[in-house]
Amino acid sequence: QVQLVESGGGLVQAGGSLRLSCAASGRYFSNYVMGWFRRAPGKEREFVATISRSGGSTNYADSVKGRFTISRDNAKNTVYLQMNSLKPEDTAVYYCAARMLTRIEYDYWGQGTQVTVSS
């Protein structure tokens, strides 16, 4: 089992940047595929980005491709989401999540961190 705690959210102007972190406790962090999701007010939760166990493979939602970068440091049990060129439509609660490679669904979720982008 793994516990996830996000940090780094806040208020930023459009065009600005933020870096989210997700610290994982528990063992065998490198065994988990990690992902970032977000939920905007009044909308369903949506996929943002995912990263393989080694960090060698990443995938992004079209809406953030070229602006966001997911990375991980397995020595620090942490996954990051670098967000550049932020837009007001990026305003949401951002969640990190973990799943085993053999699973389709993400089994472990953090509590979320609020990102607000002002125009």
* CA nearest neighbour of 81 among 4, 13, 17, 16: 17
Cα angle 23, 84, 38 (rounded to 5 degrees) comes to: 55
pLDDT, tens digit, 9 for 90 and up, residues 38-92: 999 999 999 999 999 999 999 999 999 999 999 999 999 999 999 999 999 999 9
* Residue closest to 86 by CA, chosen among 70, 60, 64: 64
Check whether 101 has a pLDDT greater than 90: no
